[in-house]
Amino acid sequence: MTSFSEKPLEVLLELLGQSGVYAILRALQEGPRRFGVLQQTTALPPRTLSLRLKELEEFGLIKRTEYKEVPPRVDYALTPRGRALQPALQALADWEAQLH
C-alpha cells in the first residue's frame, strides 16, 4: 500500500475498498464502540476486524483506548481525521440508499 502522506486520497480509497472498513467507520460515527459491538455491527470475523482496526489506527482514522480495569476494556473511536470523513461517508450512504 502507498504511504498515506504521499497520496492520501489513493490510500484512503484503497483502504475503504477493503472488507468491513466502511462499516467500521460508519459504526464509529455514532460514538466509541467496543470490539464485540463492532463485530456484531460489521459481521466481520474477529481476525479480519482486528486487522482492519489496526490499519485504521495506523492511518490515524481511529484511536484505541485501553482501560486498566478487570476485566480489561478497549474502546475504538474516530479521531478528528476520521470524523472529517463523515460527510463523504454520509454521501456514500445516501447514494447507496438511492440504488434501492
Reading the chain (100 residues) residue by residue, the pLDDT tens digits are: 555 567 888 888 899 899 999 999 999 999 999 999 999 999 999 999 999 999 999 999 999 999 998 988 999 999 999 999 999 999 988 998 998 8
Q: How many domains does the chain have?
A: 1
Residue 48 lies in a domain: yes
Look up the CATH number of the domain holding residue 39.
1.10.10.10
Residue 1 lies in a domain: no
pTM of the full predicted structure? 0.87
Task: Phi first, then psi: give them for residue 72, nearest 5 degrees.
Answer: -60, 145
Residue 74 lies in a domain: yes
Residue 3 lies in a domain: no
Domain span including residue 54: 8-99
Residue 18 lies in a domain: yes
Residue 2 lies in a domain: no
**Nearest alpha carbon to residue 5 among 81, 65, 63:** 81
